[in-house]
Structure formats: structure tokens, C-alpha cells
Amino acid sequence: MSLMVVGTVAFDAIETPFGKTDKIVGGAATYIGLSASNFYDKINLVSIVGEDFPREAIEMLNKHKVDTQGLQIKANEKTFFWSGRYHTDMNTRDTIETQLNVLENFEPIVPESYQGCECLMLGNLMPSIQQKVLNQLKKRPKLIVLDTMNFWMDNFIDDLMLALKNIDVLTINDEEARQLSGEYSLVKAARKILSFGPKNIIIKKGEHGALLFNDKEVFYAPALPLEEVYDPTGAGDTFAGGFISHLCATKDYSFENMKRAVIIGSAMASFCVERFGTERMRGLSLSQVNNRINKFVELVNFNIKTV
Ligand code: AMP
């Protein structure tokens, strides 16, 4: 049994009020894989990079239990590149540049050994590619989670609407939920987006936590109040990696267990933002992870008597 992860493996250039990076290794699937590796052993990656992508970064992923047999390396081509600048509040950012490069003609190939996966994480990527991966699977995974962003809503909305039809959980941020639904209230936005197909939706609100909805219930998880947030890049993907790997490891896809998964995702995201890029996500220890999850339990634990 395995967790299959599809998404970008990328170079990022990031600017925050704390500093600036040159091209560093990033990408949705990179963050998802690193985060998931804390809870699950068999992570299978489907993605693409150019020949400029460093071998050490692939080895780093392998060291974190990410199988890269499904990672295509294209000779004479360049890796996907994204650059972004965060505003002072660190909750909002502008994309400065997106160079699709190898993604432009990416035909994903699911290796035979990846068939029969328990869960599928369709990380942020062109919606038609997410769909192509799903179409190659001989058996529907028990859980399909899809993450996307405004870039794909702006440019490929029809493909995205198609991809939403057959998924179990959609994860997007508050701004994107408003864009996708045309509703300002997040409750109304969630309801409308659920009518597009996903059985559950998670709306991420950055430092204000995350909301999980199905058609009957709502759950809210706070974000850990941190003294310093250096770089929010990848927080959403890291969240998704923690969320899906907990569900995949426990094989319990109930709403109750999704609540726990949201807390785990939030705990992992709180690590991610503490350093630039993927630095904080490399080599976390089990006790660091457990301590952080316990901090969440303490944060929201209280006794109350109703009057
Ligand atoms: P997040 O901060 O969780 O939204 O994810 C940031 C990561 O997403 C970065 O490492 C980027 O390489 C990657 N990324 C940025 N734009 C896109 C896009 N349009 N499609 C897929 N991945 C992207």
C-alpha cells in the first residue's frame, strides 16, 4: 500500500520581509513528500524536472522515503520556476513569475509499481495533468485529495471544474475559495464548492488556521501562534502532506479522523514557516513532531460549563 503524490518539483525564488532567496528547491510535491514522510513510509512521487535540477535534491527526497521512479528528468529542459513576494502581513503574496518550463508538455506516467495506491494526493499542478494521473489508475484510491491555486483558476477553470468532480477532499486558501465560488462568506463559499463535486473541503486561512467542511459538519483548527514566521512558502502543501499521510496511515477516512488530520497538517505547517524554503522540513525528529502536535492539543483544550 502506498501514498501517491503528484505535484510540482520546482525552483523557487522567495522574498519576505525577513530576506530574499536565490533559486532554491521547492515545489508542491516536494513539501508534501517531506511532510508526509513523518507519518508514512511509502510515498510515490509523480512529477517532472529539467536537467538543471540537482541530483542531491532527489537524493534528499529518497532519504525522506519518497520514491522517485515516477519523477521524469528531461534532458535539455528547465525545471518549473516560481517566484513570489510576501506582503508585510505574511498572509498574502504576489506571484512575480511562473515559468512552466518542463510542465508545458508534461505527460505524467504512473509506473506499474505505483498502481493500487491507498491514497492519492493531487498536489498543486495543471488540472489536466492531475486528471491524466487519475485516469491512469486501474483502481480508485480510497482517498483522493486535490490542492490547487488561483493561477489554475485564472487560466484553466474548465479543466479544474472537471477535476473537482471525483475527489474526496479539496484544499484551497480563503482567497481562492472566494474566487472559485464567487461568495465572500466562507461558509457559503464552502457550500457552493461542495456542490461542484468534492465531498469535503478544507479552507486554509494562513495564520488564522483552517476550516474543514462536509455537507453537514464544520471543524476549525487554529494555527499555532508563532513568534516569528520567516517564509510561508509551502505551508499549504506541508499541511496537505500531514493531512493525507495521517489518513493514509490510519486507513480511517471518517470526518472524525479528518479532524485529527487537520490538526496534524496544521502542526506540520507550523514547522515549515519557521525557516526559508524546505529547510525546516528536512530531518524533523519524531519527538519534535509529537511535541508540536501536543502544543495544538494544549492550545485548544479547555473545560467549560454551560449556564
Ligand atoms: P504554497 O505556499 O503551499 O502555496 O506552495 C508553494 C509552492 O508551490 C512553491 O514551492 C512553488 O514552487 C509551488 N507553486 C507555485 N506556483 C505553482 C503553480 N502554479 N502550480 C504548482 N505549483 C506551484
**Contact status, residue 57 vs residue 37, Cβ threshold 8 Å:** no
Residue with CA nearest ligand 1 atom 15? 82
Which residue in 37, 106, 20 sits closest to 70, CA to CA? 106
Query: How many Cβ atoms sit within 10 Å of the Cβ of residue 10?
Result: 27
Which residue in 77, 26, 75, 68 sits closest to 47, CA to CA? 68
Residue 256, exposed/middle/buried by CB under 10 A (0-12, 13-18, 19+)?
exposed
Whole-number pLDDT of residue 92: 84
Whole-number pLDDT of residue 147: 97
Whole-number pLDDT of residue 91: 80
What's the 10 CA to ligand 1 centre distance in angstroms?
A: 8
Average pLDDT, the chain: 96
- From the CA of 26, give the closest atom in ligand 1: 10
Q: What is the pLDDT of residues 250-276, one digit of tens each?
A: 999 999 999 999 999 999 999 999 999
Whole-number pLDDT of residue 89: 84
CB of 123 shorter than 6 A to ligand 1:
no
What's the 304 CA to ligand 1 centre distance in angstroms?
A: 41
Give yes or no for residue 298 having a pLDDT over 90: yes
What's the 231 CA to ligand 1 centre distance in angstroms?
A: 13
C-alpha span between 249 and 6 (Å, rounded): 18
Whole-number pLDDT of residue 185: 98
Give yes or no for residue 283 having a pLDDT over 90: no
Average pLDDT, stretch 128-151?
96
73: phi then psi, degrees, rounded to nearest 5: -115, 115
Residue 301, exposed/middle/buried by CB under 10 A (0-12, 13-18, 19+)?
exposed
Give yes or no for residue 8 having a pLDDT over 90: yes
Which residue in 95, 277, 242, 231 sits closest to 175, CA to CA? 95
DSSP string, 75-101: TT----EEEEEE-TTSS-EEEEEEE-G
CB of 160 shorter than 6 A to ligand 1:
no
- From 35, 130, 233, the mutation candidate for ligand 1 (largest count of ligand atoms within 8 A of CB) is 233
Q: What is the pLDDT of residues 179-192, one digit of tens each?
A: 999 999 999 999 99
Please name the residue that has the C-alpha cell 510515490. 44
Give yes or no for residue 228 having a pLDDT over 90: no
28-36 and 235-250 helices cross at what angle (nearest 10)? 40
Query: Which value, to the nearest 10 degrees, does the dihedral of the CA atoms of residues 5, 79, 94, 30 take?
Result: 30
CB of 101 shorter than 6 A to ligand 1:
no
Q: What is the pLDDT of residues 109-126, one digit of tens each?
A: 999 999 999 999 999 999
Whole-number pLDDT of residue 173: 94
Give percent of the chain with pLDDT exceeding 70.
Answer: 100
Whole-number pLDDT of residue 103: 95
Whole-number pLDDT of residue 150: 92
Whole-number pLDDT of residue 65: 95
What's the 282 CA to ligand 1 centre distance in angstroms?
A: 18
Whole-number pLDDT of residue 277: 96
Q: What is the pLDDT of residues 26-67, one digit of tens each?
A: 999 999 999 999 999 999 999 999 999 999 999 999 999 999
Please name the residue that has the C-alpha cell 499542478. 125
Q: What is the pLDDT of residues 62-106, one digit of tens each?
A: 999 999 999 999 999 999 999 999 998 888 889 999 999 999 999
DSSP string, 45-82: EEEEEETTS-HHHHHHHHHTTEEEEEEEEETT----EE
